Chains A and B, each alone.
Chain A
Amino acid sequence: MNQQSITKPYEKAVVEVKNLSVFFNQNEAVKKVNLSIPINKVTAIIGPSGCGKSTLLRSINRMHDFEPIARLEGNIFLEGEDILLKSVDAVSLRRKIGMVFQKPNPFPKTIYENILWGPKINGFKINEDELVEQSLRQAAIWDEVKGRLFDSAISLSGGQQQRLCIARTIAMKPKVILMDEPCSALDPRSTGRIEDLILELKNEYTIVIVTHNMQQAARISDYTAFFYDGELIEYGNTSKIFTTPVLKQTEDYISGRFG
């Protein structure tokens, strides 16, 4: 067992991860993790490749349901309700917890339909035009696409596609947005725009972002969790983690000595 230093945020937690372990067959990818995600903040999860950070993220919206070899132990509470219980419907859970993926994955439909697909299949009562405009504006892409809402989303650039995917996610008005390395496939300029966007969005949403890019974590997050080999090593205020980390292991990773 590695040394740990965990400082719980003082804000109210939206998601509370308790003693979570994730196994793929016999391999334990996430080991007894306790993590509380504060409301309307950006929480960054950093750590070297294969340390279990994406696995943890995908547990929060039950994406492992499609993985027959995955087994989860422990609890994840969303506003007090344990979402890992068999009785919890993963489909309705995912309405409340949106996700943005590593590679932009717009549907091969028009920009307009991409936004509306989620609310429509879930039977939300909506004003279509209004929701499309509002979501695209919030995702800071409205000005670029307002003239071609009925073009295929595939015709957009990579950065635009990713902002469309964010717009599609916020059209569902989720409580939490999970982002799995959302900028790793984008150029620096698009990355900058998405980072600005994340800072905007935290006023309304709680954001958990997995990133490989430590500068990115330092720039946009309020709290940072450092993972190593499936364990949560250090968790606390981002400024503190990046300036005066408690543990040597965290310091070594952040200063680029390994990972």
Chain B
Amino acid sequence: MERRWQRRSPVLFDWLRKNLSTQAQTMPLYIRIKEKIIVFFLAASSFVSVFITALIIYILFSESAGFFKKVPLGDFLFGTRWSPLLEPASYGVLPLINGTFLVTAGALIIALPVGLLTAIYLSEYASNKTRQFLKPVLEILSGIPTVVYGYFALTFITPILQTIIPITEVFNAASASIVVGIMTLPIITSLSDDALQTVPRSLREGAYALGATRFEVSTQIVLISALPRVGASVILAVSRAIGETMAVTLAAGATPKMTANIFESVQTMTAYIVEVSLGDTPQGTIGYQTSFAVGLLLFIITLTLNFMAQRLLYKKKH
């Protein structure tokens, strides 16, 4: 039914018809308001995570600022003795970085070859049946709580290491490396497998057509084509290994040390933060602030690595 104003003002009516969506014309007002409220809550909940991230970064920086007022940045980054809680105090973070990278390097020695070979097997050799069985099994590895890994390292791997290599200490970097390697295996395997799968079939066929064997095609064509993405998976695994806390705290010990001997006890950055958090270091003291400085450093390292991985993943093809 035509209303009176429509007759009186056809121009206005046309304008309204063009500029209101069909939805807006047909939907009653209360539904439109309800929609608005729903959208508001959806957006708000997605901003919660952004807000929390910003808050954590703010706290890391503000607490670290207190630390860096007392300790020069150079002494922190390049000092080779870490003894913030015991006199004479010293705040050189290198021993913690050394511990972290010793464990990470050891983990990578295990996870990189095993992970890559598994990925190549899954992607290029395994039948669909095998694949459907193996992939979920591998993913179970990442579902095991890390404290279980730590306990496993301490009570199972370390005794074995001690019988093989008697100099092995109760807490040692080697057993931590082994379990962190197992932990990061699914990351490398799963992401590298995905990377290999993205290589087009036509490229494989082109290689086979030249008289290549499956192994030559897998390693020289498929793996090379997927190399940026495979690299990203390795970087993400390294980032995960650096951030790993529970297993290394349990297995690697709490002795900040500049050593390359993986059978000795070391302390990683994460394990140090645990030590301070559990101990009775009073809030506001420099000992308390050290954990934020170490946390900030850890954050910057893993953020950089994750950023590099993203760059590799979204790099334009050649």
Contacts and interface: CB of A to CB of B under 8 A. Distances in A.
Specify whether A and B are partners.
yes
Contacts of B202: 101-103, 105
Contacts of A66: 208
Interface residues of A, number: 30
A172 B210 contact: yes
Contact of B127 (A68, A92, A154, A155): A68
Interface in B160-189: none
Contact of B200 (A105, A122, A168): A105
B157 interface: no
A102 B202 CA distance: 9
B318 A152 contact: yes
Contacts of B318: 108, 152, 154-155
A99 B225 contact: no
Contact of A118 (B203, B205, B210, B224): B210
Interface in B189-246: 200, 202-203, 205-213, 216, 220-221, 224-225
A211 B318 CA distance: 31
A172 B211 contact: yes
Give the most central of B200, B206, B221, B225: most A CB within 10 Å: B206
B312 to A, nearest CB: 15
A54 B208 CA distance: 17
A1 to B, nearest CB: 33
Given A105-B200, A117-B220, A152-B318, A122 B205 contact: no
B224 A94 contact: no
B221 A92 contact: no
B170 to A, nearest CB: 50
A98 interface: yes
A117 B224 contact: no
B207 to A, nearest CB: 7
Nearest to B225: A108
A41 B129 CA distance: 44
Contacts of A172: 210-211
B220 to A, nearest CB: 7
A61 B210 CA distance: 10
A63 B202 CA distance: 12
A167 to B, nearest CB: 12
B185 to A, nearest CB: 27
B212 A91 contact: yes
B8 interface: no
B224 A168 contact: no
Contact of B210 (A68, A121, A152, A155): A121
Contacts of B317: 154
A216 to B, nearest CB: 21
A101 B205 contact: yes
Most buried by B among A101, A108, A152: A108
Nearest to A65: B208
B315 to A, nearest CB: 13
Given A68-B127, A108-B225, A155-B318, A94 B203 contact: no
A125 to B, nearest CB: 15
B209 A61 contact: yes
Given A109-B224, A117-B220, A169 B205 contact: no
Nearest to A97: B209
Contact of B205 (A91, A105, A109, A152): A105
A122 B210 CA distance: 9
Contacts of B216: 121
Per CB-CB distance, the 6 closest pairs between chain A and chain B, nearest first, are A118-B210, A95-B211, A99-B209, A105-B206, A105-B202, A94-B211
Interface of A: 61, 63, 66, 68, 91-95, 98-99, 101-103, 105-109, 117-118, 121-122, 152, 154-155, 165, 168-169, 172
Given A101-B206, A155-B318, 6 more contacts: A92-B211, A105-B203, A121-B211, A121-B213, A122-B210, A169-B209
18 contacts: A63-B209, A68-B127, A91-B212, A94-B211, A98-B209, A101-B209, A103-B202, A105-B200, A105-B202, A105-B205, A107-B224, A109-B224, A118-B210, A118-B212, A122-B211, A169-B209, A169-B210, A172-B211
